[in-house]
Chains A and B, each alone.
Chain A
Amino acid sequence: MQSLTTPLFLIFALAVIGYYLAKSRAMQVAGGDIRGLVSLPHQHALNTALATVVPPTAAVLLFALYGRFADTGPSWLFTLVIMGLGVTGFALSLIGIKTNSRARIFAERWILGLLIFASSIAVMTTIGIVFSMLFETFNFFGQYDWRDFFFSLTWSPNFRGNSDLGIIPLLWGTLYVSFIALVFAVPVGLFAAIYLSEYASPRMRSIAKPAIEVLAGIPTIVYGLFALITVGPLLRDYFAEPMGLGQSASSVMTAGLVMGIMLIPFVSSLSDDIINAVPQAMRDGSLGLGATPSETIRQVVIPAALPGIVGAILLAASRAIGETMIVVLGAGAAARLSLNPFEAMTTVTVKIVSQLTGDTDFASPETLVAFALGLTLFVITLGLNVFALYIVRKYREQYE
């Protein structure tokens, strides 16, 4: 096993040396008068440093990506090659320093390359995630009929085989919990945003807005605890039992309400920014016609801000669908198809966790189903995001 730490460290050191060497060499070539240079000394320096570092680093990343180091680590030859790349870049760019060399343009190209690399990481990761899920999902559907997965109404995994792995009860739980969360969070968040942006004094706003945003910083497991020990028993004792709707402290309602609280800052903070972006001229126009403040908000400000508000709501919906911890502690783990909001149910994410924890190998349909569930969830949230973009774009055209 040969570590790459030392050669890479050496290359970085060489780059630093190259930076200062190039700078002084450029001054030397110019005879002390930088007006004689086409590119400035620091541009030569940047060019040399990047030419030294980037090719070897790129080579290492490329090889790592292809999994060449999996068993043996990098060979001596490979280490030599990357050292060679570094030294070549170093030497060539240093020798190339002349009064009329265009290091300015080369340095810009290196930087452009770095920026493209950074943005492609995000895209590549998404594609990577989709593919890793896709392969495991194919494995799963090799062992389990896809019709049973999508259309079966029962979820009862059994690790000795013969499981019923229907997604519908889980999807139902996910949508039901998210629906309750949004029904709670959207009006509250939106009204809070309207108060903050239209009515609150600057002082009030400077206190209330950060206070609401604190909610966004609470870890979801803490919300889960709140659901488990406070909201759940409260709902059971004051609503579910008196109305004869069940004795369970874990319920869709508990998880939905607590998740709604979690979503308030998402909705209110984004909507607040969007409402603030509506030009004052719109409000003046409406007030100048003798509309009251609330008429102005309802008929002019909100319609103008609508695309952004819809975007904020759909973002909150994506969060709700992907939420796990609150559901585990608030709604329980029983997969069930029911309309009663005071009954325990569970969601897709919770079942992904429970199918993958414990002593299992990734070969049985009981574990592989997690990937199919994950992919389904991914497709749903992706669809939501695309829909959000569509809505935003459609209305923006109209209001431009």
Chain B
Amino acid sequence: MEDMIHMDRAMSTQQDIKISARNVQVYYGDTHAIKDVSVEIDDKTVTAFIGPSGCGKSTFLRCINRMNDTIDIARVTGDIRIDNEDIYDPKVDPVQLRAKVGMVFQKPNPFPKSIYDNVAYGPKIHGLARNKADLDEIVEKSLRKAALWNEAKDRLDAPGTGLSGGQQQRLCIARAIATAPEVLLMDEPCSALDPIATAQVEELIDELRQSFSVVIVTHSMQQAARVSQKTAFFHLGNLVEYDDTDKIFTNPQDPRTESYISGRIG
């Protein structure tokens, strides 16, 4: 019931709602991984999902671009809308949806291709570039946005797998934004990175907010506090609390949230 109150408050703000989920349930075989989650995510905002391991935050994230479809035993019910379009409608092609909803994974996973081809991969597949010059421009713009251009511009033909961990993750971010998505999902993008690379990626996330709606799953509460405007706290498959980040960290309404952010559970 309390969830609903917070949601009403979120809706009453002036920002546009990009993603709206209602009564989402996810089952992995017999396991009920996500229990009746409803949430509304604003456009041009960084929204953080926090919570202890196994609480379902990554699972919920993967519902938003239907990556759970690739897991045979996963079953999703409920209603998720992006720009008021039901993404689980049978008429929706998950392939097209994923072009609109980009994703960055926990572990950097550059393809075994050159840096250039890694970034050009999405635009080529979706036919976003009419010619080589167009493609060059998209690649450069994406690498610049991902703050990797200066390091990579002289070695675009070098394999992407030869970069350092932090550079690889920024390459993956460049790759994701090259397809011009509207939403960017990030599943613990900094968990494999050192503090310096983490700082770079966080700075980048803040800049990306200008163009996209960013949803980030993180284990680190400090990170959530640093980068996000809105925070959702998940616990055991439930969405416990969802509110402005400041509010969650200074004045949480639910005792479980308070226990978690003060380090007593999770």
Partner-B contacts on A (CB < 8 A)? 201, 279, 281-292, 295, 299-300, 303-304, 398-400
Partner among A201, A279, A282, A288 whose Cβ is within 8 Å of the Cβ of B67: A288
A279 nearest CB neighbor, chain B only:
B109
Contact between chains at A285 and B105 (CB < 8 Å)? yes
As a 0/1 sequence over residues 199 to 236 of chain B, the CB contacts with chain A under 8 angstroms (1 = contact) are 00000000000000000000000000000000000000
Shortest distance from the beta carbon of B181 to any chain A beta carbon, whole Å: 9
Shortest distance from the beta carbon of B191 to any chain A beta carbon, whole Å: 13
Subset of 30 A-B contacts with CB under 8 Å: A201-B72, A282-B112, A283-B70, A284-B67, A284-B105, A284-B109, A285-B105, A285-B111, A285-B172, A285-B175, A287-B70, A287-B98, A288-B102, A288-B103, A289-B99, A289-B121, A289-B125, A290-B98, A290-B99, A290-B100, A290-B125, A291-B95, A291-B121, A292-B95, A295-B125, A299-B111, A303-B112, A304-B111, A304-B112, A400-B161
Contact between chains at B105 and A288 (CB < 8 Å)? yes
Contact between chains at B126 and A290 (CB < 8 Å)? yes
As a 0/1 sequence over residues 70 to 96 of chain B, the CB contacts with chain A under 8 angstroms (1 = contact) are 101000000000000000000000011
Q: Assuming the A-B contacts A299-B121, A300-B111, A399-B159, are A289 and B105 also in contact, with contact meaning beta carbons closer than 8 angstroms in the complex?
A: no
For B111, what are the chain A residues with a Cβ–Cβ distance below 8 Å? 282, 285-286, 299-300, 303-304
Shortest distance from the beta carbon of A276 to any chain B beta carbon, whole Å: 15
B97 nearest CB neighbor, chain A only:
A290
**5 new A-B contacts at CB < 8 Å, known A285-B111, A290-B96, A292-B95:** A282-B112, A284-B67, A285-B109, A286-B121, A399-B161
Instruction: Tell me which of B95, B103, B111 has the highest count of chain A C-beta atoms within 10 A of its own C-beta.
Output: B111
Q: Assuming the A-B contacts A284-B105, A289-B98, A290-B122, are A399 and B67 also in contact, with contact meaning beta carbons closer than 8 angstroms in the complex?
A: no
Shortest distance from the beta carbon of A82 to any chain B beta carbon, whole Å: 58
For A400, what are the chain B residues with a Cβ–Cβ distance below 8 Å? 161
For A398, what are the chain B residues with a Cβ–Cβ distance below 8 Å? 112, 159
In the assembled complex, the Cα of A192 lies from the Cα of B209 at a distance in Å of 45
Shortest distance from the beta carbon of B25 to any chain A beta carbon, whole Å: 23
In the assembled complex, the Cα of A39 lies from the Cα of B67 at a distance in Å of 58
Contact between chains at A289 and B102 (CB < 8 Å)? yes
In the assembled complex, the Cα of A344 lies from the Cα of B222 at a distance in Å of 77
Shortest distance from the beta carbon of A400 to any chain B beta carbon, whole Å: 7
Shortest distance from the beta carbon of A295 to any chain B beta carbon, whole Å: 6
Contact between chains at A289 and B159 (CB < 8 Å)? no
For B72, what are the chain A residues with a Cβ–Cβ distance below 8 Å? 201
CB of B107 within 8 Å of the partner chain: yes
For A285, what are the chain B residues with a Cβ–Cβ distance below 8 Å? 105, 109-111, 172, 175
Shortest distance from the beta carbon of B164 to any chain A beta carbon, whole Å: 14
Contact between chains at A289 and B70 (CB < 8 Å)? no
For A279, what are the chain B residues with a Cβ–Cβ distance below 8 Å? 109
For A287, what are the chain B residues with a Cβ–Cβ distance below 8 Å? 67, 70, 98
Contact between chains at A281 and B125 (CB < 8 Å)? no
CB of B176 within 8 Å of the partner chain: yes
Contact between chains at B179 and A290 (CB < 8 Å)? yes
For B100, what are the chain A residues with a Cβ–Cβ distance below 8 Å? 290
As a 0/1 sequence over residues 113 to 134 of chain B, the CB contacts with chain A under 8 angstroms (1 = contact) are 1000000011001100000000
Shortest distance from the beta carbon of A91 to any chain B beta carbon, whole Å: 61
Contact between chains at B161 and A289 (CB < 8 Å)? no
In the assembled complex, the Cα of A291 lies from the Cα of B125 at a distance in Å of 7
B162 nearest CB neighbor, chain A only:
A400
Shortest distance from the beta carbon of A396 to any chain B beta carbon, whole Å: 10
For B97, what are the chain A residues with a Cβ–Cβ distance below 8 Å? 290
For B172, what are the chain A residues with a Cβ–Cβ distance below 8 Å? 285
For A289, what are the chain B residues with a Cβ–Cβ distance below 8 Å? 98-99, 102-103, 121-122, 125, 175-176, 179
Contact between chains at B125 and A288 (CB < 8 Å)? no
CB of B47 within 8 Å of the partner chain: no
CB of B65 within 8 Å of the partner chain: yes
In the assembled complex, the Cα of A303 lies from the Cα of B109 at a distance in Å of 15
In the assembled complex, the Cα of A290 lies from the Cα of B172 at a distance in Å of 14
Q: Which B residues, 166 to 210, have Cβ-Cβ distances below 8 Å to chain A? A: 172, 175-176, 179
Q: Assuming the A-B contacts A399-B112, A399-B159, are A288 and B98 also in contact, with contact meaning beta carbons closer than 8 angstroms in the complex?
A: yes
In the assembled complex, the Cα of A286 lies from the Cα of B124 at a distance in Å of 12
For A288, what are the chain B residues with a Cβ–Cβ distance below 8 Å? 65, 67, 98, 102-103, 105, 176
In the assembled complex, the Cα of A287 lies from the Cα of B179 at a distance in Å of 13
For B110, what are the chain A residues with a Cβ–Cβ distance below 8 Å? 285
In the assembled complex, the Cα of A285 lies from the Cα of B113 at a distance in Å of 13
In the assembled complex, the Cα of A282 lies from the Cα of B99 at a distance in Å of 16
Shortest distance from the beta carbon of B74 to any chain A beta carbon, whole Å: 14
In the assembled complex, the Cα of A284 lies from the Cα of B122 at a distance in Å of 13
Shortest distance from the beta carbon of B252 to any chain A beta carbon, whole Å: 32
For B96, what are the chain A residues with a Cβ–Cβ distance below 8 Å? 290
